[in-house]
Amino acid sequence: TNTNEAEAIDFLGRYDREAGQMCNKFMEASWNYNTNVTDFNKRVMLQQQMIWSDFHRTKWNEATNFAWKNFTTPTVRRMFSFLTVLGKAALPRDKLKELTGLLQEMKTTYSVAKICRYDARLRRLPSGDYDYDAEFEADDDNQIGCIPTLPLEPHLTQMMANSRDPDELRYLWRAWREAAGKPIRQKYLRFVELSNEAARLNGFSDAGEYWRSDYEIDGFREEVEELWQKLSPLYQQLHAYVRAKLVEKYGEEVVPRRGPIPAHLLGNMWAQTWTNVLDITIPYPGRTSVDVTNALRIQGYSPLAMFRLAEEFFTSLGLEPMPQTFWQRSMIQKPTDREVVCHASAWDFCNGRDYRIKQCTEVTMEHLVTTHHEMGHIQYDLLYRNQPFIFRDGANPGFHEAVGDVLALSASTPRHLQSVGLLGNVDDSYETDINFLFAMALDKIAFLPFGYLMDQWRWEVFSGDTTSSNLNNRWWELRLGVQGVSPPVPRTEEDFDPGAKFHVPANVPYVRYFVSFVVQFQFHAELCKAAGHEGPLHRCDIYRSVKAGRLLRNVLSLGKSRPWTEALSVLTSGRTNKLDVEPILEYFGPLRTWLESQNRGELIGWRENEAIVLQVT
Ligand SMILES: CC(=O)N[C@@H](CC(=O)O)C(=O)NC[C@H](CC1(C(=O)N[C@@H](Cc2ccc(O)cc2)C(=O)O)CCCC1)C(=O)O
Ligand SMILES: [Zn+2]
């Protein structure tokens, strides 16, 4: 092995230049496929994927020839520690092709899945009523003239958000899982086998351990478990209150007063955020509500105007504007002339100049928040663009997910929405405060158990604790036990419900979002301090604070050049280097007190025997 550190540094210099070019070519091919889903574009992208993997393996061979662990320069050692993990390219070529092929097939199934309109699917009884029980017996579609025409975005997303008909919601919930989840069950099992084989070739016990290594700390799994245990009581208070409101709306036959909440009634296809049932659950209906969707529409906001509004928040902090090419090359609306992957995403083309967002933007408050989220990824990409290629990444994946959300915490406040003209008169009353905190909790607190259980389930699949005999059952054990939601129709091992959530077929890890929802409040607290904010944390708006912007720039410019624990030390001026639930609990403190008083007499938590009995074939 080569102990010459000077030669190693020369190798790293060459790698830096070549990797940027290879990455750019792969991102272009991947972008072309995602913004124009055709077989040709898929083939080109898979070809580029193989070229990138060959490049990665060649460089890996060179890197592993160096005795890098004894090198004296810390950043050189850190670069080699990343370079000497080959990832899926460690697989034999034929298995790598199978793996990438399976991944593309699963992503395509998800992206093009469509279901029939509600009424087209259902048989009518002589009386003219719908025959709900017949809805899935007649699998022979043309018997009832059903042609699947409704895609997830924007149709099913909007229907799940706006329908208040439990039967329609139940149909949509089940039909989507028939179309998107069930068909990929076998492919996913084979994909897991190959992912584990690749992980073992890299010295990990399974793909879950490989994923968790991104967080660079031992006991990350236990750390996440501990954070959830501290947050679960607040979630249970919110769950109890929302359940009581849903009982009021739909009655106890539909919503068990002491049981889990049926998953189709929470305004979201996966019950992961509950903002779309704010109208049913808002604490003080008469008072100010921060859902500015109507104002956006009345004021004629376009997707572009929403993007400009988000960009202006970043530049008000002294952070980077979007590059010129961003506005020319991004896809911010769903095209009408071709299939695209609508799931929003932010793209770094690895050349320090080309950055884009792909988003099927709708003019809603939810999409305004998403726009900040995606632009947060681009901002982070821009701030670390002068780092070496290997360090151009988030300090940990949760940091990358937090950036946009941190700004959105300020941009969503009633005061801020009023200052940009999206909200009329805002009173500083207690009720308005509670309404605002409640709306934020439907997004941030409701999400925590889902953000936690997604990879709990996958880590157990990768480790073999969960197998094909209990794949779907284990999913519902976690959904019931952790999140307190139940399926609106019985589920069996014929189904594959996790497969109906983008990140499973797309194989995108998810615990990053749980980490983000904790750490974004640590960022918020520190930036508010830097901005000189006084008063309750939930009222802070860092808009136009150049001091807050400077602190954020200092933390994010590090990229992955230092462990994220050091980045947290920079953020907190040395006060901590750990994930900490105190800021999120402080932010929601007033709401928790209010919920505890409102929930007197309610069962906090849920009796699992009230869930629909899980059928096991
Ligand atoms: C080239 C590439 O892929 N780039 C990465 C970014 C990067 O790695 O640089 C990327 O763009 N990933 C896409 C993904 C999209 C979204 C998502 O999937 N969100 C989660 C969880 C969630 C829920 C509520 C919330 O407020 C925030 C997050 C979900 O919807 O379940 C959908 C809209 C929001 C974010 C994303 O932006 O994280
Ligand atoms: Zn993100």
The secondary structure of 130-149, three-state, reads: ECHHHHHCCCCHHHHCCCCC
Closest CA to 292 of 439, 462, 126: 439
Ligand whose nearest atom lies closest to the CA of 272: 1
How much distance in Å is there from the Cα of 400 to the middle of ligand 2?
7
Share of the chain above pLDDT 70, in %: 95
Is the per-residue pLDDT at 144 higher than 60? no
CB 221 within 8 A of CB 459: yes
pLDDT of amino acid 611: 66
Indicate which residue's Cα is closest to atom 9 of ligand 1. Answer: 377
Mean per-residue pLDDT, 184-213: 98
Our answer on whether the CB atom of 344 is closer than 6 Å to any ligand 1 atom is yes
Please indicate whether residue 273, judged by its CB atom, sits closer than 6 Å to ligand 1.
yes
Confidence band, pLDDT 50/70/90 cuts, at residue 130: low
Question: What pLDDT digit, counting tens, does each position of 582-614 carry?
Answer: 999 999 999 999 999 999 999 999 988 776 544
Average pLDDT (53-68) is 96
Average pLDDT over the chain reads 94
φ and ψ at residue 43, rounded to 5 degrees: -60, -45
Ligand nearest to the CA of 509: 1
Each residue's pLDDT tens digit, 245-261: 999 999 999 999 999 99
CA of 512 to the centre of ligand 1 (A): 10
Region 61-86: mean pLDDT is 96
> Given its phi and psi angles, is residue 562 left (phi above 0), alpha (psi -120 to 50 degrees) or beta?
beta
CA of 333 to the centre of ligand 1 (A): 17
State which ligand 1 atom lies nearest to the alpha carbon of 270: 31
Kindly state the percentage of the chain with pLDDT values over 90.
Answer: 89
User: What does the pLDDT look like over 262-315, one tens digit per residue?
Assistant: 999 999 999 999 999 999 999 999 887 778 999 999 999 999 999 999 999 999
Ligand 1 pocket member 511 (CB < 6 A): no
Ligand 2: distance of its center to the CA of 600 in Å?
37
Catalytic center residues: 343-344, 373-374, 377, 401, 503, 513
The terminus-to-terminus CA distance of the chain in angstroms comes to 56
Q: Are strands 261-262 and 485-486 parallel, antiparallel or unpaired?
A: parallel
Contact assessment for residue 41 and residue 28, using Cβ atoms and an 8 Å cutoff: no
Bridge partners (DSSP) listed for residue 600: none
* Residue 507 in contact with ligand 1 by CB distance below 6 A: no
Q: Is the pLDDT of residue 140 over 80?
A: no
Taking alpha carbons only, the member of 344, 332, 319, 452 closest to residue 398 is 452
Residue with tokens 């701030």: 383
Best residue for ligand 1 mutational test, from 214, 347, 401 (most atoms within 8 Å of Cβ): 401
**pLDDT at site 612:** 58
For atom 17 of ligand 1, which residue has the closest CA?
A: 344
**Which residue is listed with tokens 């070496």?**
388
Ligand number nearest CA of 517 is: 1
CA gap 121, 256 in Å, rounded: 28
pLDDT at 143: 43
Residue 138 reports pLDDT greater than 50? no
- pLDDT of 121: 60
- Cα 234 vs. chain centroid, distance in angstroms? 21
Q: How confident is the model at residue 62 (pLDDT cuts 50, 70, 90)?
A: very high
